[in-house]
Amino acid sequence: MCLCKTGDGIELRAIRNADIEKLLELAIWSEELWPLKSFRQRLTEAAELHARGKGLACALYVEGEAAGYVIMDFHWTKSGQLHHGQLHYGLAPSHRGKGVVTKSCGALIDYAFRRLDLESVSIIVPVLNSESCGVPERLGFEKAGTSWGLDEDGQPVETAEYAMSRGGWQAREPR
């Protein structure tokens, strides 16, 4: 099912099992960075949450071919109100450098603010992953700060948190 389109050949479709197999073939993550088993599990869990209305999990289709993914994890207030989304993304190496993820995240953020009434969206990235930091920076997110945590292997990693409020998104300059 197509959730949204960017208008230039990119479609965001709810991830199906066949997409997961395709995304695993695309070498989005190197095995050393994130074992494929964890990647499969992450995509499968996100797709299940999407199916239950508890998150968004989209395969990015470029000119009809699966090229990457954007996931939005949902956060609720104590009273059960959906208020925040956290974005995660990855793209096949052959599609990088063309703005595919920036445009796709922009489309999903629009969808989330307009249709789901979220208050804010964040993106947390390792400081050393400059390609990933570029996505929120191009979208006009504010850098909220940096902190140290542990990566998948329990190794220390410094991450930067970028944030966008609904008001900030509505007021931003057209890009």
Ligand X SMILES: CC(C)(COP(=O)(O)OP(=O)(O)OC[C@H]1O[C@@H](n2cnc3c(N)ncnc32)[C@H](O)[C@@H]1OP(=O)(O)O)[C@@H](O)C(=O)NCCC(=O)NCCS
Counting Cα atoms < 13 Å in the Cβ hemisphere of 76 gives: 7
Q: Minimum distance between the CB of residue 80 and ligand X, rounded to whole angstroms?
A: 29
Q: Which residues sit at the interface with ligand X, rule CB under 6 A?
A: 28-29, 89-91, 96-103, 125, 129, 131-132, 134-135, 138
Q: Minimum distance between the CB of residue 124 and ligand X, rounded to whole angstroms?
A: 7
Q: Where are the beta strands (DSSP E) in the chain?
A: 2-5, 10-14, 55-62, 65-76, 82-91, 120-126, 142-150, 156-165
Q: Minimum distance between the CB of residue 175 and ligand X, rounded to whole angstroms?
A: 8
Give residue 43's Cα distance to chain centre.
12
Q: Measured between alpha carbons, how far is residue 160 from residues 12, 99, 130, 151, 172 in Å?
A: 26, 21, 11, 13, 21
Query: Residue with CB nearest ligand X?
Result: 99
Indicate the residue among 57 and 91 with the shorter CB distance to ligand X. Answer: 91
Q: Minimum distance between the CB of residue 97 and ligand X, rounded to whole angstroms?
A: 5
Is the separation of the CB atoms in 7 and 51 below 8 Å?
no
